[in-house]
Amino acid sequence: MHIVVFTRSTPDTAAKVEVDAGGAVTWGDAATVVNPWDEYALEEAIVQAKNAGGKTTVIAVGPEMHNDALKHGLAMGMDSAMRVWEDGLTETDSLTYATIAAAAVQKLGDVSLVIFGRESVDVGTDQHVYQTARKLGWPMLSFVSKIRAVDHAAGTITVERLLEEGKEVVTSRLPAVISVVKDINEPRYPSFIGIRKASKAEIPVLTSADLGVTLPAATTRVVAYRNLPARETQVEMITGTPEEQARILVDRLQEENVL
């Protein structure tokens, strides 16, 4: 069983991210980390491949900064890594991403499961996940909180999905694409040996020509990034006994017309 995980490098979750005077998004000296959702995807791939005696590949679609996430994946225990990119591509265009990602999986040839974290915090979306499944022509199981069973003989996977209304149990044919939520596992920390091995790894970079895919022209673009408007609220501190605080707060909320 060959399992692929797609990952990205994103600014550390605690970093203050802002738009500088030149319009670029910056996060100062803060480190980049593996996209927080992807750690669950990496952990699940390693566990499932171990159970099934399979192998794992971690792939990033994007420029060199994403090598950090790939190395994190290798340090956790993924077997191999690969990056796909070339100059002139629009990193935020999800159809570009999905077309490349699907071609990379097809190039590997023997993949039966692709795992994504539920979304990428930098681009702030999960659309590339579903679009990769469609470009592969594979079924998509999103928001997976547990893999109940992988039946190799029957070629099926049964999962629990965490939805707004509750938990859905679904069985799908393989190969399939899944996206995982943080209920699914407890990601391991990379071992010292793992980190050392990963730091020395040479990560191959492939282009669309290497994958034999023609990319459509991007149909979306980011025109500009902006800082959030400051919350114009001046906090009003409500003091007194708890009963007085409660009474004044309810007065205010009634004036604000929210009750």
Partner 1 sequence: MSAVYVWIETFQGRAQPGSWEALGAASKLGLPVVALVFGKDASAIAQEAARYGAERCLVSEDATLESYRLEPYAALLSKLVQDNRPRLVLASATLRGRELLAASAADTNCALLSDVMTFEVNDGTVTATRAAYAGKVLSDVEATGETVFLTLRGRAFKAQAANEAASAQIETVEPVLAEAKIATKIEGFEAEAGGVNLSDAAIIVSGGRGMANNPKPAPPDAADAAVWKAQDGFKNTLQPLADVLGGAVGASRAAVDAGYISYAHQVGQTGKTVSPELYIACGISGAIQHQAGMRSSRIIVAINKDADAPIFKIARYGLVGDLYEIVPALTAELKRRLGK
Q: Which of residues 129-148 bind partner 1 (CB under 8 A)?
A: 129-131, 133-135, 138-143, 145
- x/- track of binding to partner 1 for residues 18-37 (CB under 8 A): xx-----x----------xx
Question: Applying CB under 8 A, does 189 fall inside the site for partner 1?
Answer: no
Pick 81 or 177: Cβ nearer partner 1 = 177
Region 56-85 residues binding partner 1, contact defined as CB under 8 A: none
Read off the amino acid at residue 223: V
Question: Applying CB under 8 A, does 154 fall inside the site for partner 1?
Answer: no
Region 218-237 residues binding partner 1, contact defined as CB under 8 A: 219-228, 231, 233, 235-237
The enclosing H or E element of 113 equals strand 111-117
Q: Which of 125, 191, 199, 207 binds partner 1 (CB under 8 A)?
A: 125
Read off the amino acid at residue 197: K
Which of these ranges, 42-50, 58-66, 69-77, 90-98, lies near partner 1 under the rule CB under 8 A? 90-98
> Shortest distance, CB of residue 9 to partner 1, whole angstroms?
13
d(CA 101, CA 84): 8
Q: Which of 31, 167, 189, 207 binds partner 1 (CB under 8 A)?
A: 167
If we measure between CA atoms, which residue out of 110, 99, 122, 55 comes closest to residue 207? Answer: 99
Q: Which of 123, 147, 178, 198 binds partner 1 (CB under 8 A)?
A: 123
Q: Any idea what the Cα angle at residue 67 is, between residues 121 and 39, rounded to 5°? A: 45
Q: Which of 22, 88, 124, 212 binds partner 1 (CB under 8 A)?
A: 124
Pick 48 or 145: Cβ nearer partner 1 = 145
The alpha carbon of residue 27 and the mean position of all alpha carbons in its chain are separated, in whole angstroms, by: 19
The enclosing H or E element of 101 equals helix 94-108
> Shortest distance, CB of residue 158 to partner 1, whole angstroms?
7
Contact 70, 58 (CB under 8 A): yes
Contact 90, 79 (CB under 8 A): no
Q: Give 49's contacts (C-beta < 8 A, 6+ positions apart).
A: 1, 3, 55, 56, 79
Question: Applying CB under 8 A, does 183 fall inside the site for partner 1?
Answer: yes
Question: Applying CB under 8 A, does 193 fall inside the site for partner 1?
Answer: no
Pick 11 or 194: Cβ nearer partner 1 = 11
For residue 144, how many other CB atoms are within 10 A of its CB?
25
Structure letter (DSSP) for residue 120: B
